[in-house]
Amino acid sequence: MAQAGARPWARSDAKHQAIVRAAREVFLSNGYLGTNMDLIASRSGVSKQTVYTHFGSKEALFLEIVGSMTGDAGDRVHHERPELGDGDDLGAYLRAFAERQLRIVTEPELLQLRRLVIGEVGRFPELAKVLYERGPQRAIDEITAMFQRLRERGLLSCDDPAAAAEWFNWLVMAAPLNRAMMLGDAAVPDEGDLREHVAEAVRIFLAAFGPAPRS
Amino acid sequence: MAQAGARPWARSDAKHQAIVRAAREVFLSNGYLGTNMDLIASRSGVSKQTVYTHFGSKEALFLEIVGSMTGDAGDRVHHERPELGDGDDLGAYLRAFAERQLRIVTEPELLQLRRLVIGEVGRFPELAKVLYERGPQRAIDEITAMFQRLRERGLLSCDDPAAAAEWFNWLVMAAPLNRAMMLGDAAVPDEGDLREHVAEAVRIFLAAFGPAPRS
DNA sequence: GCCACACTAGACTGTCCAGTATGATGTCGT
DNA sequence: ACGACATCATACTGGACAGTCTAGTGTGGC
C-alpha cells in the first residue's frame, strides 16, 4: 500500500517500530475514532511530524497496524503440525491441536483486535474480511486438509471435510470466544477449564464424525 | 436510571419515540463516537434542545437506546413454546426451535447492535454484560429448562443439561453469527442454507447427546 | 566542510461537536 | 385570559483533534 519504492530508512527503523508499537496499544485500547495522534507520537517518543512522515495519515496508520496484526496472528496459529502416528489416539491428537488454537485465539491482544475490527465493520469492511480470512477461514482450511488425510485413513466419516472442519472449529472456539467478546478478557477460561472444554468438544465432534458408522 | 419520578410527558410521547427511533439508526450505523447529536435532532424532526430535555446527555441517550434494544430482542426470542408431544419427532422439534432463534439473531439490526456493543466493550463494559445476559445467556437458560424436561423423559442423555444447552446453542449460532460479525449482513444464510445448517447442527447434537447410550 | 535527511518542539489552522443560552411560539389546563 | 411548559430555531462556548508549518538540531556520507 505505502510507497514501497523509496524507503532508505535504515537509520529510522527503530522509530518506525516504536510508532507501530505505540499505535497498536493506543488503537487497541481506544478504538479508531477514540485514538489521538498526539498520544501516539508522545507514547512512541517521537514527534508528531515523524509519525506523519512514516505513515501518511491516521487511517493509513490504522490500516497498517491492523493488517500486520492479523497477519502475525495467522502466522502464529499456522505452524508445523505432526501427522497422526499409526498407534496414536485420534482424540488426543485433536485435543492437542484444538487446545493450541484456542490458547492463541483467546490471548487478550487478539481478543481486543477482534473487538476493534468488529466495531469498525461499518467504517472499514475490508479489514474485517481480511481478519476473517486470515483467522477463522485459514484455520478451517487447515483443519480441512488435516481431515482429508484422516478420512483417507478411515478415521473420520464425513462426506465433506470442509464442512466437518467448520463444525470442529466452532465447537472448539464458539463458547469461549463469544463469552470473551462481551464479558471481557476475565471471562477467558483458565488452563484447566480450557482442557475440559476442548475434551468435551472433541467428544461431541467424534460422536458425530468419528470412525463409527453414522446413524 | 433516568429520573423516573417526574414525567408528565403525555403530550411529548410522540417526540420521545421519534428521538429514540432516530438515535437507534444513527448510533447503529455510526457508532458511539461517530454519532453526532445534531444529526439525531434533525433526523427526529426535533430541536437539539428537546433531545437534551428528554435525555440528559449523549451517553445517557446511548445507554437508554442500547439497553432497550437488548431487552426487546431478548423478549422476542423468549416466547411461548409448545411442549414436545408424545408421538412427535425430537429432531424436528429441536430444528424448529433452533431455526426460530437463528432467524431472529441474524436480523441485520441485531447483528449491528452486537457489533456496536462489542466495539464499545472498552468504554461501556456493563452494556456488553447486559447484552450477553439477555441474549446468549438467556437463550441458554431456556434451552437448559427444555433439556431438563427432555432428559426426564429419557430423550436426552446428558449429565449436565446446562452444559448441553450451551453446546446446542453454539452449534446452532456460532458459524452464522461469527461469519456475519465480520463479513457483513450479506453473509447471513438464506432460508435454505439456514435450514440445512440447523439440520446438521441438530444431527451433531443428537449424535453426542441423543437417547442412545453415550460412548 | 557541506549537503541531504531524519528528526524535534511547538505553534497554528480549520473543523467538528457536546452542551448551553436566548428569545420566541404554540398549547394545554384552569 | 393567564401561567406553565413543551418546543422551536439559532447562535454561542469551549475543547478536542487531524494535519500542516516553521525554524532549528543532529548525523551520516563524500
- The domain total for chain B is 2
Domain stop point among A16, A31, A56: A56
The pLDDT value recorded for residue A73 is 83
Q: Residue A186's domain is classified under what CATH number?
A: 1.10.357.10
The pLDDT value recorded for residue B87 is 84
Torsional sign, CA A98, A99, A101, A105: positive
B61 lies in a domain?
Answer: no
| A184 in B contact zone (CB under 8 Å) | yes
The pLDDT value recorded for residue B10 is 43
Amino acid type, B202: V
The pLDDT value recorded for residue A74 is 81
B78 lies in a domain?
Answer: yes
Shared domain for B78 and B126, answered yes or no, is: yes
The pLDDT value recorded for residue B11 is 52
Closest CB to A115: pick one of B33, B121, B175.
B121
A181 lies in a domain?
Answer: yes
Shared domain for B1 and B35, answered yes or no, is: yes
Nearest to B169 by CA among B184, B147, B190, B185: B147
Shared domain for A135 and A114, answered yes or no, is: yes
Kindly report which amino acid residue has its CA closest to the C1' atom of nucleotide C27.
B11
Domain that holds residue B142: 66-209
Greatest CA span in chain A, whole angstroms? 67
Strands (E), chain A: none
Shared domain for A71 and A48, answered yes or no, is: no
**Residue B34 DSSP one-character state:** T
Torsional sign, CA A132, A158, B96, B154: negative
B215 lies in a domain?
Answer: no
Mutate to test the interface with A, among B118, B143, B209 (most CBs of A within 10 A): B118
The pLDDT value recorded for residue B65 is 96
The pLDDT value recorded for residue A2 is 34
Provide CB contacts within 8 A for A1, sequence distance 6+: A60, A63, A64
Divide the 215 residues of chain A into consecutive groups of 10 and give the mean pLDDT of each group: 38 86 98 98 96 96 96 82 86 97 96 98 97 96 96 95 98 98 98 98 97 62
Shared domain for B109 and B173, answered yes or no, is: yes
Torsional sign, CA B156, B164, B97, A210: negative
| Cell numbers for A53 | 512522515
Cβ of B177 within 8 Å of Cβ of A179? The answer is no
Whole-prediction pTM: 0.92
The pLDDT value recorded for residue A176 is 98
Span CA (B124) to C1' (D19), Å: 30
**DSSP H helical ranges for A78-107:** 90-105
> For B44, phi and psi rounded to 5 degrees?
-95, 5
Assess whether A52 (CB) lies less than 7 A from strand D.
yes
**Residue A186 DSSP one-character state:** G
Through-space distance between the first and last CA atoms of chain B, rounded to whole angstroms: 52
CA pair distance A155, A147, nearest whole angstrom: 9
The pLDDT value recorded for residue A83 is 85
Each residue's pLDDT, cut to its tens digit, for chain B (215 residues) gives 333 333 444 456 888 999 999 999 999 999 999 999 999 999 999 999 999 999 999 999 999 999 999 988 888 877 778 888 888 999 999 999 999 999 999 999 999 999 999 999 999 999 999 999 999 999 999 999 999 999 999 999 999 999 999 999 999 999 999 999 999 999 999 999 999 999 999 999 999 999 865 44
A149 lies in a domain?
Answer: yes
